[in-house]
Structures are given as structure tokens and as C-alpha cells.
Amino acid sequence: MATTDTPRMVVGVPRENRAGETRVALTPTALPQLTKAGFDVVIESGAGALAGYPDAAFTDRGARIGTRDDAFAADVLVQVNVMDGDASNAELSKLRQGQVVIGAVAPFARPELVKAIAGTGATLFALELVPRSTRAQSMDILSSQAAVAGYKAVLIGASELPKMFPLLTTAAGTIAPAKVFIVGAGVAGLAAIATSRRMGSLVEAYDVRPAAREEVESLGARFVELPLETGQEEGSGGYAKQLSEETIKKQQELMAKTVAASDVVITTAQVQGSTAPVIITTEMIKGMAPGSVIVDLAAEQGGNCEPTVAGEIVDVDGVKVIGVVNLPGEIPVHASQLFGKNVANFLGLMVVGGKLDTGVDDDVIKESVVAAGGDVVNNRVREALGLEKLPEPEPPAPEPAADDTPAAEEAAK
């Protein structure tokens, strides 16, 4: 008897090879959701080891353990860092026409990588471009990984500070709580505020978006009010927008006093697709007490502090400026779990009738695709590559009102 079973789609997860990366793109907790959606999953042997997930944890949830080539042969290739962020990666030759590649791409910082993947014929989705909407929250890797980074940044600050965070009253006297200042009240900043408060410090926070005040105060921190016209009611899609040089300079002047009075400063300000704004100057840092600590979460994008060096600790008159990189990779168990859930939710949007449809009519999918059909299809990436802009799709024509239809006109006669 002939079978009519449709071959199941295969998701491949290779081990991450980027220096310092400990995460894995899918974890066992995400596998049942993918299996139910019609996927089989093949994991490169050892892919989850650094994240605390041995091969047996995957096979117990129905995955198959295979070679790296097995993972790359899948219909859908999922990576935390697509091609390790390297446009000259030799494994680009393993990609093929019709294959789907999903992960973090940094498309505006690495447009050459997008172009290289487009040349293979594969369809590339950059998860950083998932819109920041309520509906897309469950697929937003920037938010999930930022929450982990904000938490870890506070632990680093507390570890490096030669003081304790909480207020303590002892027989030997009272110890005043540490003062923590959070710059930027996005997901990372809010996680940093909550963690600092749980550790007993006094917390202040600032954001260019006035709407952030309510969130900051709801977590028990004091919102630092700076009399600036920033034009940041909310920012496009929930992102802050780049400020003018004049506004940034004024911001620095007004913020100097708060920075000087802080024991720990955590900076989180980033602008999508741009170099991070320099908010804290060397002169401002010199006003802090020796032993104070700054943790710069924007180090990989250039840093929010003038002396920041990514991956290094810079001493400025006794103040440590820590240029942290890949903080989620320092908490790989939960960072991977969140990333994998984001991926599984994203893939679920493209499953139609048991098959993968990359052209599905969905805003989340449309805004995230950067390469398809052998070409770069995101205009911002094309601009970075010096390519001609593609025509924007025309908005759908409005449907006629009920009383304008021919049938309505006829009935009115």
C-alpha cells in the first residue's frame, strides 16, 4: 500500500565555534514544541555541552545526535551566531539553495555576511530584526538575552566593588548601602535595576524616553530627571533613537553629578544599527571615588564610556571600566533556554499545513528576512553594501465601504 506521509522537516543545530561562545541555539525544553509542529531535530554531538546540556538530554526529548555535516544538511539551520559572524567562513559552502538559516546575524554591522549567505541561495532570517511588538515578544532574542545580560552586569559590578551592596546594621556599626546608577531603562536596564534592588542597593536610573519613568519607579528605583528635549516619546518599535551631538553633550554635563556620587554605574544604551552613544566621558569618570566600578554593556558596539575597551578592564584614576562582551554566554543554561524558545516560536510562524513556508504573510517573518532568492532583500543592509534600494511593497488598497458596493447601490434604488 502506497504511503502518503509527507517527509518531516529537519532542523539542524551545530556546535557554536565563535570564540568565547558557550550557548547552544536549541535546548531540550524547546524540542517537544518543534516535534509537534512537524520537525525532526538533529544536534551535532557536543553542541550543548558548554551550556550544560549533554547529548543524552537531547535524545531523551526525541532529537538525533549526528555529525556537524548532518546538522548542516538539515532543511533549517539554527545557530546562535550565524556562520560565527564571519563572511569568509569556509562552512558557507555547506549552505544551499532553498535552505533556511536562522540566528543572530548583526546584519547592519556585518552586511558582507548577509551578502555571502545570499550568494548561496539560502534564505536568511536575522532574529535581531524581529519587531518589538507585543505579539513578537516571545521571539525577541534581543530582549531575552538582554535580560540575562542586565542581571549578570550587576553581579560583575558587585564582585568588583570593594564594598557591600546592602545596608547592614551591626554591633561594629552601620554600613551604608551601595549607590548604583543604571543608564538606559530598556530590558537590560530594567533587569539590572531589579537585580540591584534585590541585592539591597540604592538605585537610580535614567533613560532618554520619558515613558520609562513609570517602569523605573515600579521597580523601586529613583528616575533621574534631566531637563533635555530628546524627542524620544517611545522610539521606533520600542528602540531609542540617536541623539544629536549637542544633546549628548548637554546630557553628559547634567549627568556628571549623579555619576560622581555612584559606586557602580551600569550603562546599557544602544541604538539599533548604529555605534553606541558615548554618554560617560573620561572626565566624568575621574569625578568618581577610587574603587568605583562601571560595567559597560555596549562595549561591543563601541561603548557608552569614552575609555571602554571591549573585553578589557580599563583603570581610570582607580575606577574600573569593564567592557563586557557576550554576558549571556556567561549564564549559558538559561540564556540558551530562552534563545531556543525564541527560535521555536519563530519557526512555528512559518509552518503551514505541515510544511515550511518562508513566504508566509506575517509581519514578523517579513521584517526578519534579510536574504532570499539569491539576493539581499533588506534595504538597510543593501544601503550598507552600496546596492540599489529595492522598491517597497505597496500597501494593500482599502476595501470599499459597504454602502459603496454595486450591490448596495442597486438595493438603494
Between CA 160 and CA 291 the distance in angstroms is 8
Please give the single-letter amino acid code of residue 165.
F
| Residue showing cell 532542523 | 11
Q: What local confidence, expressed as pLDDT, does residue 228 receive?
A: 64
Integer Cα distance of 404 and 413 in angstroms = 13
CATH number for the region 9-129+332-385 comes to: 3.40.50.720
- DSSP labels, 295-329: EETTGGGT-SBTT--TT-EEEETTEEEEE---GGG
Tell me, yes or no, if 55 is annotated catalytic: no
CATH number attached to the domain at 146-325:
3.40.50.720
Each residue's pLDDT tens digit, 300-310: 999 999 999 99
Rounded to two decimals, the pTM is 0.89
Q: At what angle do helices 332-349 and 141-160 cross, to 10 degrees?
A: 170
Q: Is 140 a catalytic residue?
A: yes
pLDDT of residue 237: 41
Cα–Cα distance between 118 and 105 in angstroms, integer? 13
Please state which of the ranges 237-246, 319-328, 357-366 shows the lowest mean pLDDT.
237-246
pLDDT at 3: 45
Cα torsion through 186, 192, 193, 198, rounded to 10: 150
The answer to whether residue 239 is catalytic is yes
Question: What is the H or E stretch that residue 364 is in?
Answer: helix 363-368
Give the pLDDT confidence of 28-39 residue by residue, as tens digits. Answer: 999 999 999 999
Give the separation between CA 326 and CA 16, rounded to whole angstroms.
Answer: 13
Range(s) of the chain covered by CATH 3.40.50.720: 9-129+332-385, 146-325
pLDDT at residue number 392: 79
Cα separation of 390 and 246, whole Å? Answer: 34
Distance separating alpha carbons of residues 188 and 194, to the nearest angstrom? 10
Can you tell me the distance from the alpha carbon of 275 to that of 198, in angstroms, rounded to the nearest whole number? 32
CA–CA separation, 105 and 88 (whole Å): 14
Kindly report, residue by residue over 210-236, the tens digit of the pLDDT.
889 999 999 999 999 887 665 554 443
Indicate which residue of 15, 23, 53, 143 is catalytic: 143
Catalytic option among 239, 252, 362, 380:
239
Instruction: Give the position of cell 543608564.
Output: 183
Instruction: Note the pLDDT tens digit of each residue in 232-270.
Output: 544 434 445 556 677 777 777 889 999 999 999 999 998
Among residues 140, 207, 263, 296, the one annotated as catalytic is 140
Q: Would you call 86 helix, strand, or coil by DSSP? A: coil
Q: Which residue has the cell 524547546?
A: 30
The single residue of 137, 138, 213, 252 carrying the catalytic annotation is 137
Describe the strand order of the beta sheet including 76-81 as a list of residue ranges: 64-66, 39-44, 9-13, 76-81, 100-104, 123-126, 369-372, 375-376
Cα four-point dihedral sign 218, 279, 154, 163 = negative
Instruction: Find the largest Cα–Cα distance for the chain.
Output: 95
Residue 333 class from Cβ within 10 Å (0-12 exposed, 13-18 middle, 19+ buried)? Answer: middle
Q: Which amino acid is at 362?
A: D
pLDDT in the model for residue 231: 53
Q: Which three cell numbers stand for residue 59?
A: 535524545
The residue among 320, 260, 313, 315 whose CA lies nearest residue 284 is 260
For the stretch 124-182, pLDDT in tens is 999 999 998 999 999 999 999 999 999 999 999 999 999 999 999 999 999 999 999 99
Of the candidates 333, 330, 360, the one whose C-alpha atom is nearest the C-alpha of residue 348 is: 360
- Catalytic entry in 132, 213, 222, 380: 132
Strands 168-170 and 319-323: unpaired
- Short-list 339, 306, 334, CA closest to 321: 306
Q: What are the b/e assignments for 286-317, b being 16+ CB within 10 Å?
A: eebeeebbbbbbbbbbbbbbbbbeeeeebebe
Closest CA to 182 of 264, 260, 256, 261: 264
What is the rounded CA–CA span in Å between residue 320 and residue 127? Answer: 33
* pLDDT in the model for residue 411: 40
Q: % helix / strand / coil in the chain, to the nearest 5?
A: 40, 20, 45
